[in-house]
Amino acid sequence: MSPEFAQEFGASIDFDQAMAAEDIEGSIAHVTMLGSTGILPQGDVNQIKAGLQEIAQELQDGTLDEFTIANEDIHMNIEAILTAKIGPVAGKLHTARSRNDQVATDFHLWVTHRLPEVITAIDKLQGVLIQLAEAHTDTILPGTTHLQHAQPISLGHYFMAYFNMLQRDKERFEFNIKHASVSPLGAAALAGTTFPIDRQQTADLLGFQAVYSNSLDAVSDRDFAIEYLTNSSMLMMHLSRLSEELIIWASYEYQYVELDDAYSTGSSIMPQKKNADYAELIRGKVGRVYGDLMSLLTVMKGLPLAYNKDMQEDKEGVFDATTTIMGSLHVMTGMLQTLHVKDDHMAAAVQNDFSNATELADYLASKGLPFRQAHSVVGQLVLKGIQEHTALQDMPLSELQAASDLIEEDVYHDLDPRVAVERRTSFGGLPSPRSRRRLLRERNC
Ligand code: ARG
C-alpha cells in the first residue's frame, strides 16, 4: 500500500470536520481547566484560548484555512491551525488528554446538541397532526384491518394515533439526552491521567449533565449513538407507515386525499400523473437509517476495551441519519400542512361496505342475544346483502326481523356510520372533546 493510499484510507477529516465547532469548544474547556488547576501557567492558557477563539470565529465566518488530509482528522487539523497561529505553545493543549477522550467528547457534544433540534422538529409535526385532528373530528372514513374495511372511524382519531406514536419517539429522544450528555473528557487514553485535572469543571463548562465514572467505559462507549440511531430508526418507521397510507390514499382507487403540488411530481410522459414522490422518498430513506443502525451495532460488537480504530466508523452513520430524519420530518410537516382531505370520498367509502356490521351484532348482543350468535345472524344478513347489493341500513325492517325478532325500528339509528363512530366512547375510542383537551395539555407540559 502506498503511503498516499494509507493516508487516505486512515483519514477521517472528510467527514469528522462536521464536529469542528465541538472540537474547539472541548479544547477551550480543557485548557481553561488546565489553567484553573495550575497544570499550565495562566499566560500559556490565555494564548491558547485566544488562538482557539479566533479559530472558532473563522470557522463561523467561513474564513478558516482548508483542512488537510495530511493531518488525518479534525482534532489534528485544529491543533495544526492553532500551532500555525500561536507557535509551539499550542502543543501544551494536549496535556492530560488523548485523542481518544477528545473524539468521544466531540461526538457526545455533537449528538447532545442535535437532540433538542430533533425533539423540536417532532414537536412541530405533532402540532400539525393536532390541528388536523381538531379539524377532522367529524370526518368519517373506513377504518381497516388487513387493509379490509372494518369499522367506521373519524379521521381525527386516525391522526391522533400518529400523534401518540411520535410522542413515544419524542420521549425516547428525550431519554437519549441522559446517556449522550455525559463527559468522557479527562479519561485520557484509557486509564485517566497523573495530572490533577478537574473533570467536573470541564463537564460543567461544556454543559454536560454528568461525568463518566469509569475511564475505560468513557472512551469505549458508543451506546448513546446506537440509542440515537435506534430512536431514529423507530421514528423513520413511523414516518414510513404514514407515508405509505398517504400514498395509498392519494391513489385513483381511494382518492381520500390530494397532495399539494409542492409535494408531488408529474410524469414526463403521462400528463394525468401526480406522483407522491416525497412520501415515497421518506418511505425509501428508512432503509439508510436502519443501515446506519446495523452498521454501528456491527462495528461495536467485537471490540475489546478501550479505543480501537474501528470506532472511527461511528460518525458517518449518525451524521447521515440526522440529515435524513431532519429532512423527513420537515417534508412530512409541510406535506400534512398542505394536505387536501376529500371528506366526501371518505364518507362515500363507508356507505355500502358493511363496516356497520359490528353495530348490528352489538345491537343484538345488547338485547340479550349471546354475541357469538349475534355474529352469526349478522353474517347471514351480510351475505344476503352482498348477493343482493343492499347495505344493511337499506334493508327493510321485515327482512331484518326475519333474521332476528329482536330487531326494531331503532336499529337504523345505530347503523348510521356517523352514529357508529360517535357511540365508540370507550377509553381509547373516538377522541372526545375531553380526551382531546387532555392530549393538548400533555403536549404542552
Ligand atoms: N479520527 C479518530 C476517530 O475518529 C480519532 C481518534 C483517534 N485516536 C487514536 N488513538 N488513533 O476515531
Residue 12 CB less than 6 A away from ligand 1: yes
Cis before 306? omega within 30: yes
Looking at residue 420, its pLDDT comes to: 86
Give residue 319's pLDDT. Answer: 98
Q: Catalytic site residues?
A: 146, 267
Pocket test for ligand 1, best of 308, 309, 310 (most atoms within 8 A of CB): 309
Does residue 100 line the site of ligand 1, with CB under 6 A?
yes
Per-residue confidence (pLDDT) for residue 353, from 0 to 100: 87
Q: What is the pLDDT of residue 435?
A: 59
Identify which of 76, 307, 308, 316 to mutate to test ligand 1's pocket (most ligand atoms within 8 A of the CB).
Answer: 307
Q: For residue 100, report the distance from its CA to the centre of ligand 1, in Å.
A: 6
Asked if 100 contacts 219 with a C-beta cutoff of 8 angstroms, the reply is yes
pLDDT at residue number 445: 38
Q: Give me the DSSP letters along 305-341.
A: SS--GGGGGGHHHHHHHHHHHHHHHHHHHHHHHT-EE
Residue bearing the CA closest to ligand 1, atom 2: 312
Q: How many CB atoms lie within 10 A of CB 175?
A: 13
The segments of the chain whose pLDDT lies below 50 read 433, 445
The domains located in the chain, with CATH, are 3-95 (1.10.275.10), 100-198+209-347 (1.20.200.10), 348-433 (1.10.40.30)
Environment class of 384 (CB within 10 Å of its CB; exposed 0-12, middle 13-18, buried 19+): middle
State if residue 312 touches ligand 1 by the CB under 6 angstroms criterion: yes
CA distance 371 to 380: 14
Q: Is 188 in the pocket of ligand 1 (CB under 6 A)?
A: no
Cα–Cα distance between 359 and 362 in angstroms, integer?
5
Residue 323: closest CA among 362, 288, 277, 358? 288
User: What is the three-class DSSP state of 150?
Assistant: strand
C-alpha–C-alpha distance, residues 305 and 246, integer Å: 47
Q: Which pLDDT value is given to residue 438?
A: 62
**Which residues, in sequence order, are CB contacts of 204 under 8 Å at separation 6+?**
none
CA of 326 to the centre of ligand 1 (A): 27
Beta strands in 342-382 (DSSP E): none
**Ligand 1 atom at minimal distance to the Cα of residue 72:** 1
Alpha-carbon dihedral angle through residues 19, 37, 32, 77, given to the nearest 10 degrees: -40
- Say if residue 254 is exposed, middle or buried (CB neighbours under 10 Å; 0-12, 13-18, 19+): middle
State the residue for C-alpha cell 480543557.
30
Cβ atoms of 321 and 289 within 8 Å: the answer is yes
Distance between CA atoms of residues 136 and 17, nearest Å: 47
